[in-house]
Structure 1
Amino acid sequence: MSIKGRLKKYYTRVMDIPDAPVKVARGAAIGLAIDFMPVPIIGIPIAYVIARVVGGNGLAAALTATFFKWTVPFLYMLNIATGSLVMGIEEYDHAMPVMKSATLTPADWINYLSQFGYPFMVGAVINSILAWLLLYYGVRKLMMTRQKRKGIIAK
């Protein structure tokens, strides 16, 4: 199935969830926000539980977290870039010579990669908040418009 077909299928599945637009939007936004965090295997159940605890739709959270798993490498790089920008760290200028160096020991590699810890987490928090806001208001508006058109809620 093409990317366009998958997007359409995901959109239809989320929009057809029989719940209040605010709850579905909250769940979907939590699902995407969790994908920015470094919880690779347990992100889907975590998204479900958080959505249920804060009054969102757990199914929407799980669907969104599952659907956007393919974007995680991009999201992680975005986290590092955002965090480095906010913290004023310019790691990319000398990252390539370090990566090409064959004389580094495993301890040197671990030390180098651990430098991305704080920028990654700062970027993850910022990007999660922004993604949550964008998806929450976008899905909420789309669901309300769709439900008004179908006559489910009053105009």
Structure 2
Amino acid sequence: MVFKRRDRRSPLQVLWELIWPRGGWARAFHYVKHRVRRLPDSPERIARGIGAGVFASFTPFYGIHFVIAAALARLINGNILAGLSGTFFGNPLTYVPIGVISLQTGHFILGTHFEEGSEHGLMGKFASAAGDLKNNSVAFFTGQEADWQGLKIFYDEVFYPYMIGGIIPGLVAAVICYYLSLPLIRTYQLRRRAKIKAKFQAIKKKAGAALPNPQKPG
């Protein structure tokens, strides 16, 4: 095929580039910023879309942040493409602080606490939930008794507090990003329009100068 990669990446390389893209996160950030600023829409709708994407990054629904961002952007009359780009706020460099803040806020709101320790830590709860899903899937076909205790603990102590606790910091981050991006997008669009107008006027002036002057009748 014409567009097939010549250097085939191994699964390990694919996984690593999800964590650290080629060129680094700074280059990826500037690329997303450039794409967002050039969206053909009003600054307000683009900024609302970015806010929707940022808020979606604070939800525990990993894997469908794009879907949530698009739905929220549509709900608040924001730009959907800007919403998809706004989910870039959640990346492997920010997932840990986002998760910690959301979990702590959720347990504070619910009046509960997160049990830590080698057996009851976050990774242990993830492992128990994954084990329940695996074992109970097998039990469904073998007739063995299903045990959902690990998954229940994960839901009660991780997923539900994360979902509740991500609302407030997600809204705060979304509002901040909205008000930060709005003037930047507006300024960029005004400058871009001015450049396009100046370029068009220069072309028009050059074309006018190239036309022959009609001779005046004697």
Q: TM-score, normalised by structure 1?
A: 0.76
Provide Cα deviations, 1:62-87, integer angstroms capped at 9, x if missing partner: 12225634444542332112212334
Match of 2:49 in 1: 27
2:185 aligned with 1:143: yes
Letter of the 1:36 counterpart: F
- CA distance in 1 between partners of 2:179 and 2:38 (Å): 17
Aligned length: 148
Match of 2:155 in 1: 114
1:150 deviation in Å? Answer: 4.3
- CA distance in 2 between partners of 1:43 and 1:69 (Å): 11
Q: Looking at secondary structure, tell me which structure has more helix per residue.
A: 1
For residue 59 of structure 2, give the secondary structure of its aligned residue in structure 1: coil
Match of 1:59 in 2: 81
- CA distance in 2 between partners of 1:18 and 1:39 (Å): 29
| Identical-residue share of aligned pairs (%) | 25
- CA distance in 1 between partners of 2:102 and 2:35 (Å): 28
2:121 aligned with 1:79: no
Structure 2 unmatched runs, 5+: 1-22, 133-147, 195-218
Letter of the 2:34 counterpart: T
Identify the structure with bigger relative contact order (alpha carbons < 8 Å, sequence gap 6+). Answer: 1
Structure 1 unmatched runs, 5+: none
- CA distance in 1 between partners of 2:68 and 2:155 (Å): 25
Which of these two proteins has the greater Rg computed from alpha carbons? 2
Q: 1:58/1:98 Cα in 2 relative to 1: closer, same or farther (>3 Å)?
A: same
- CA distance in 2 between partners of 1:149 and 1:7 (Å): 21
Match of 1:130 in 2: 172
> What value does the CA root-mean-square deviation take over the aligned residues?
2.8
Q: TM-score, normalised by structure 2?
A: 0.57
For residue 89 of structure 1, give the secondary structure of its aligned residue in structure 2: coil
The runs of at least 4 consecutive aligned structure 1 residues that moved more than 6 Å come to none
